[in-house]
Amino acid sequence: METIPQDQQKNYDIFRDCLSIALIEKLSQPQPTSKRRSKSKKPHSTATPTASESAAETFQALPEELKTLDYYAYAEDADLRARCFRAPTHGLRRAGPRRGV
């Protein structure tokens, strides 16, 4: 695993913590149980990466500009806000009143 440069360490720590929280929440949800078991004879792999390993690998793949970006720089640079780093909106439902409640 590559070492995170010092100027990126703060953002990496935040990224790792956010990813860890998301993974823990996902893993702590009860899994639906099936009444039928598969008859697979293949052994299941137990070599799953840790949250820190996943975070480090994913963080290294981010564009350099994101690795050192902070909120203040983002808030002050209208060009930066206009051209990139917007969350994708496809597939998201519009929030509205819930029916049948």
- Whether this model's pTM surpasses 0.85: no
pLDDT tens for 30-56 read 877 767 666 666 666 666 778 788 889
DSSP letter string over 45-101? P--PPPHHHHHHHHHHHS-HHHHH--HHHHHH-HHHHHHS-PPP-TTPPPP-PPTT-
Residues 68 and 8 sit within 8 Å (Cβ to Cβ)? yes
Mean pLDDT of all residues in 22-26: 86
